[in-house]
Amino acid sequence: MISIETQKENGHDLLILRGEVDASNSVMLDQAIQKLLDDGSKSILVNGEGLEYISSAGLGVFMSYLEDLQERDIDLKIYSLTPRVFEVFKILGLDQLIPIFPDKTSAF
């Protein structure tokens, strides 16, 4: 189960994730990010406070946008990850490519 919510704040797009991202619903995450890009977002902040679990399929979604974001000079930041989910990003090494912040204020 996953719920995805988007908000606008100070010219940033907030992507609020709750629940678990796995192979069955990673498409929803993909669509949400794609929509923000299509709408011309310049900065995407992912709120991972409510994210309980992310599978490799979910990580694959973030990964697949890295090149695209870099080319189009769009910021992608993740903040407020729970320790367990942060661990998953860290093990894969994605924390080297996506800036991850402990809370919202530091991410802004």
Partner 1 sequence: MIKLPPIHIGKLSMLLAILVWLALLFVDLVRLFGIINTIDSGIAAEFTLILEILFFLSVYSFYNYSINKNTQNDFLNLIWRAASTGIFSVGFFLLVSLLYRLLGDSKLGQEPFLLNFFYHVKFALVSIFLISSSLLWKHLILYQKSKQVVKQWQAYEFAMLVAMFFIFFNKNNLDYSFLFGMVILLGLGLVLSSNLKWIPYLTFKEKWKSLLFLSLIISSCIYLFSQTLEFSDSEVYPVNLTDNLFLISLFGFILIYAIFSFLVTLFNLPTSSVFEQKLTEAISFQRLSQSIQPGENEEQVLDILMDSCMSASYADAAWLEMSAYESGSLLQDRSIDHETRNELAELIGKQKVAQEWAAENQTEKLSPITLRLGHPKFESVLLVPLIINKQAIGKMVLCKEVRDGFNKEMVNIITTFARQASIAVENHRLLNQAIQNERYQEELKIAQRVQKALLPTKLDHNGAFDICAYSNAADEVGGDYYDTYKLDEDRFVFIIGDVSGKGTSAAFHMAQMKGIFQSLIQLDLSPAEFMARSNSALGKCLEKNHFITASIFIIDTQKNIVRHARAGHVPTLMHSFADQKSDYLAIDGLGLGILRNKQYINHVEEKTFKYQPGDVLVLFTDGIVEAKNEKSLQFGFERIRSLLEISHHQGPREIQAKIIDSLHSFVGGDGLIDDDYSIMVVKFNEYQKN
CA distances from 99 to 9, 23, 24, 30, 83 (A): 19, 24, 26, 19, 15
Residues 51 and 82 sit within 8 Å (Cβ to Cβ)? yes
Instruction: Give the containing element (helix H, strand E) for 83.
Output: helix 83-92
Nearer to partner 1, 11 or 93 (CB): 93
Least distance from partner 1 to the Cβ atom of residue 92, Å:
4
Q: Which of residues 38-97 bind partner 1 (CB under 8 A)?
A: 55-57, 59-61, 63-64, 66-67, 84, 91-94, 96-97
CA separation for the pair 18, 1 (Å, rounded):
8
15 vs 54 by CB, closer to partner 1: 54
* Binding interface with partner 1 (CB under 8 A): 23, 30, 55-57, 59-61, 63-64, 66-67, 84, 91-94, 96-97
